[in-house]
Amino acid sequence: MDIPATAAALKNGERRALARAITLVESCRADHRQQALELIDALGSDRQALRIGLSGTPGVGKSTFIETFGLFLTGQGLRVAVLAVDPSSARSGGSILGDKTRMEHLSRDPNAFIRPSPSQAQMGGVARRTREAVALCEAAGFDVVLIETVGVGQSETMVAEMCDIFTLLLAPAGGDELQGVKRGIMEIADLILVNKADGDLKPPATRTCADYAGALRLLRKRPQDPSDFPKAMTVSAYEGAGVEQAWNEMCALAEWRKENGHFAGRRAEQARYWFHEEVRLQLLERLSADAALSAQLAKAEAALSRGEITPASAAAQVLDGFMAG
Amino acid sequence: MDIPATAAALKNGERRALARAITLVESCRADHRQQALELIDALGSDRQALRIGLSGTPGVGKSTFIETFGLFLTGQGLRVAVLAVDPSSARSGGSILGDKTRMEHLSRDPNAFIRPSPSQAQMGGVARRTREAVALCEAAGFDVVLIETVGVGQSETMVAEMCDIFTLLLAPAGGDELQGVKRGIMEIADLILVNKADGDLKPPATRTCADYAGALRLLRKRPQDPSDFPKAMTVSAYEGAGVEQAWNEMCALAEWRKENGHFAGRRAEQARYWFHEEVRLQLLERLSADAALSAQLAKAEAALSRGEITPASAAAQVLDGFMAG
């Protein structure tokens, strides 16, 4: 790939260049990885989008919300990128965003860019790919980058560590189902949106929202928030109700944090977090790429299968050689 | 700790020595780690227990089953150790085996040893601790080591990689709930036990068992199994029905595998698996213990917070220094 040309096309907002660049950062090949690093370095970081994380379990209406919310944003003249993080996609072939028809209108909007989750076995790889894809979308001049995830395992924490505002989409529920939301998620959510506040579900949605608002008030205040955040609201992705208000709340929160230094502070903290993750990930990559090590591993495996050594002692011996070499 | 004395006491079957030794392998301190390795090496591997993995989600009656099963085994003159793997214990304070009163009678049986799950943040650490605790229980002369886990996240795979026989405990269910059992688990289970086959639940338990038996027949046969395995059976932990049959099936399977070389083969394969895991884990431990690296990390963090470098590039630079040093 011609890195300077791709960088220029991408900064010019060319969608095909962006798509190709994301494919590059998704690749596991060592030469692609090198090119990906060069490309990201070449793009710089002078452009900034608002990064919004959106989590919600299957069935809460995530696709419909993204479609409605995305079209609202493009209607305001904003350019929107949607990236998906689906930790299960490696096995199941992807349960979210596997199909662009999921967001039929948004996917045809010239000011929107939708990218499904790639098949990746490793959580570290998924995180890196998504983080770098966010950087690419920013460099391509998108105003809003929406990072979608299903509320499973570590993926929510991962998305929270790469967005400016973390939003949790929920369905109306009985009060006793409140406990179903993992406590850790309540702690990291900036905005809780109770969806499906339309038709018969409007009363339970309103009640659920009040329950969450009450639960949020019990949480410790965070210094990076204005006094009325985190907040719970109702929306109807289907009817569009509440979507503009939700956007206004996100903007108000981002503005407040920018004025108080918390916006840049959060990004700096996230950079540190990902730096440490990268150190771990790259160390393991170097380990698997080390040729001399492979011979050592084979030798140790033979001793192991003869029962001459324990796995822990064998590992210590091999690493002594790796670090010395 | 006096390693030779502890090793001797432990091989003599002294429970307090075993408990102290497990506390040692659970410790994260570098000097404790070193002592733990010495202790395990000193113990050797001439004694072998039957390692049985038992997985089941909360509510299936795992505690009651372990109590009934454990007492049945001690009644046969066997010594039984129960170890728990609870990946959530770091956060929740432990949802399984946190309280020995859960298995009131078994915990008072002189031929049983029950060890709750330790608080550990890291999956790698939990796996290592459990694997080493199994080795300690074997060296202490236990005949059966039961490794209990909740069916959450990676913990089942981990337990499957350290047991000779993997058992899945299920509750009676409607046929359409079959899908609730993760497909991967069906693939690794040797024996599916449908519990609560008593009273009103006996008919649904029998139906559920037939459903699983049918599902198991659809799975590809594994060369390490006799033709009638994996198998589904009903048990009633409450009434004790089926428990002896379950034990007989486990013994028959272990016997068949021993005769056909699959028993030792599986252990050798597991040793290789844990060796590679140990290489990864120890590499990361060396990384965090490296003093020169700490200075490099701090320098890189400063450049990161000034936005001069991306996390991936910073990580690559730091690792270049670490590997060269």
pLDDT tens per residue, range A112-151: 999 987 765 566 678 888 999 999 999 999 999 999 988 6
A302 touches chain B (CB under 8 A): no
User: Measured between alpha carbons, how far is A320 from A317 in angstroms, rounded to an integer?
Assistant: 5
Average pLDDT over residues A201-207: 93
The larger pLDDT score, comparing residue B198 to residue A276, is at B198
The larger pLDDT score, comparing residue B164 to residue A96, is at B164
User: Measured between alpha carbons, how far is B108 from B115 in angstroms, rounded to an integer?
Assistant: 13
Of B40, B41, B304, the CB nearest to A271: B304
B5 touches chain A (CB under 8 A): no
> Where do we find the tokens 């307090």?
B16
pLDDT surpassing 60 at residue A176: no
How far A308 CA lies from chain B's nearest CA (Å)?
Answer: 9
Q: What's the mean pLDDT when you consider all of chain B?
A: 86
Q: Which two tokens stand for residue B325?
A: 């040093």
Contact A311 B132 (CB under 8 A): no
What pLDDT does B180 receive? 53
User: Measured between alpha carbons, how far is A115 from A242 in angstroms, rounded to an integer?
Assistant: 26
B128 touches chain A (CB under 8 A): yes
How far B208 CA lies from chain A's nearest CA (Å)?
Answer: 25
CATH architecture group of domain B46-259 = 3-Layer(aba) Sandwich (3.40)
Read off the DSSP letter of residue A118: P
Contact A40 B310 (CB under 8 A): yes
What pLDDT does A174 receive? 58
The complex's ipTM works out to 0.77
Contact B312 A287 (CB under 8 A): no
Of A132, A307, A316, the CB nearest to B282: A316
The larger pLDDT score, comparing residue B234 to residue A291, is at B234
pLDDT of B214-262, one tens digit each?
888 877 778 888 988 999 999 999 999 999 999 999 999 999 999 999 9
Question: What is the phi-psi region of residue B141: left when phi exceeds 0, alpha when psi lies from -120 to 50, beta otherwise?
Answer: left
What are the helix and strand counts (H, E) for chain B?
A: 14, 7
Residues of A in contact with B304 (CB under 8 A): 268, 271-272, 275
A233 touches chain B (CB under 8 A): no
The larger pLDDT score, comparing residue B157 to residue B147, is at B147
User: Measured between alpha carbons, how far is B186 from A136 in angstroms, rounded to an integer?
Assistant: 41
Radius of gyration in angstroms for the set of CA atoms belonging to chain B, rounded to a whole number = 22
B132 touches chain A (CB under 8 A): yes
Task: With beta carbons less than 8 A apart as the criterion, state whether A130 and A86 touch.
Answer: no
Task: Give SS3 for A170.
Answer: strand
What pLDDT does B45 receive? 81
How far B284 CA lies from chain A's nearest CA (Å)?
Answer: 7
Write out the residue limits of the CATH 3.40.50.300 domain(s) in chain B.
46-259
> Where do we find the tokens 């590679």?
B276
pLDDT-based confidence at residue A282 (cuts at 50, 70, 90): confident
Q: Which of A276, A287, A290 is the best residue to mutate to test the B interface, defined by the most B CB atoms within 10 Å of its own CB?
A: A276
pLDDT-based confidence at residue B95 (cuts at 50, 70, 90): very low
- Cis, bond preceding A223 (omega within 30 deg of 0): no
A305 touches chain B (CB under 8 A): yes
Task: Give SS3 for A264.
Answer: helix
pLDDT of B48-73, one tens digit each?
999 999 998 778 899 999 999 999 99
The larger pLDDT score, comparing residue A324 to residue B90, is at A324
Task: With beta carbons less than 8 A apart as the criterion, state whether A81 and A144 touch.
Answer: yes
Contact B286 A318 (CB under 8 A): no
Q: Which residues have CB under 8 Å from B106's CB, separation 6+?
A: B66, B67, B70, B71, B74, B80, B82, B112, B114
Average pLDDT over residues B77-100: 65
Task: With beta carbons less than 8 A apart as the criterion, state whether A143 and A80 touch.
Answer: yes
A272 touches chain B (CB under 8 A): yes
Residues of A in contact with B280 (CB under 8 A): 284, 287
User: Measured between alpha carbons, how far is B273 from B263 in angstroms, rounded to an integer?
Assistant: 15
pLDDT of A56-86, one tens digit each?
877 889 999 999 999 999 999 999 999 988 7
Of A278, A284, A323, the CB nearest to B312: A278
B283 touches chain A (CB under 8 A): yes
What pLDDT does B183 receive? 61
How far, in Å, are A29, A146, A219, A296, B309 from residue A26 at the CA level?
Answer: 9, 18, 38, 30, 20
Of A268, A278, A304, the CB nearest to B271: A304
Average pLDDT over residues B74-84: 96
Q: Which of A218-232, B6-20, B218-232 has the highest mean pLDDT?
A: B6-20
Percent of chain A with pLDDT over 90: 51
What pLDDT does A192 receive? 94
Average pLDDT over residues A217-239: 88
Average pLDDT over residues B31-44: 90
What pLDDT does A88 receive? 58
Contact B37 A313 (CB under 8 A): yes
pLDDT surpassing 60 at residue B6: yes
Q: Which of B185, B270, B276, B322 is the best residue to mutate to test the A interface, defined by the most A CB atoms within 10 Å of its own CB?
A: B276
Residues of B in contact with A30 (CB under 8 A): none
> Where do we find the tokens 């991936």?
B312
pLDDT surpassing 60 at residue A156: yes
How far, in Å, are A53, A81, A100, A102, B239 from residue A106 at the CA level?
Answer: 18, 10, 9, 9, 59
What pLDDT does A21 receive? 96
Nearest-CA residue of chain A relative to B266? A305
Which of A201-205, A261-265, B206-210, B293-297 is predicted with the least confidence, judged by mean pLDDT?
B293-297
What pLDDT does A182 receive? 63
How far B75 CA lies from chain A's nearest CA (Å)?
Answer: 33
Contact A280 B286 (CB under 8 A): no
Residue among B52, B75, B89, B84 nearest B168 (CA)? B52
pLDDT surpassing 90 at residue B267: yes
Backbone φ and ψ for B150, nearest 5 degrees, come out as: -85, 150
CATH 3.40.190.10 for domain A1-44, yes or no, is: no
How far A258 CA lies from chain B's nearest CA (Å)?
Answer: 16
User: Measured between alpha carbons, how far is B114 from B129 in angstroms, rounded to an integer?
Assistant: 15
Residues of A in contact with B128 (CB under 8 A): 312
Residues of B in contact with A278 (CB under 8 A): 311-312, 314-316
B38 touches chain A (CB under 8 A): no
Residue among A191, A202, A169 nearest A247 (CA)? A191
Of A37, A305, A323, the CB nearest to B313: A37
Rounded to two decimals, the pTM is 0.69
Q: What's the mean pLDDT when you consider all of chain A?
A: 86
Which of A66-80, A208-222, B132-146 is predicted with the least confidence, judged by mean pLDDT?
A208-222
Q: Which amino acid is at B129?
A: R
What pLDDT does B93 receive? 38
Of B41, B153, B276, the CB nearest to A310: B41
Question: What is the phi-psi region of residue A153: left when phi exceeds 0, alpha when psi lies from -120 to 50, beta otherwise?
Answer: left
Nearest-CA residue of chain B relative to A281? B315
B301 touches chain A (CB under 8 A): yes
Class of domain A272-324: mainly alpha
Task: With beta carbons less than 8 A apart as the criterion, state whether A280 and B122 touch.
Answer: no
How far, in Å, are B27, B74, B136, B178, B198 from residue B235 at the CA level?
Answer: 38, 19, 30, 18, 8
What pLDDT does A297 receive? 86
Residue among B26, B46, B35 nearest B3 (CA)? B35
What pLDDT does B101 receive? 59
Strands B112-115, A231-234: pairing kind: unpaired
Write out the residue limits of the CATH 1.20.5.170 domain(s) in chain B.
1-44
Task: Give SS3 for A310.
Answer: coil
Q: Which of A118-122, B102-106, B135-139 has the highest mean pLDDT?
A: B135-139
Contact B274 A305 (CB under 8 A): no
Q: Which two tokens stand for residue A316?
A: 């210590």
- Cis, bond preceding B226 (omega within 30 deg of 0): no
pLDDT-based confidence at residue B298 (cuts at 50, 70, 90): confident
pLDDT surpassing 60 at residue A108: yes
pLDDT surpassing 50 at residue A98: no
Which ranges of B171-261 does DSSP label H, i.e. alpha helix?
Answer: 183-188, 202-218, 243-259
B252 touches chain A (CB under 8 A): no
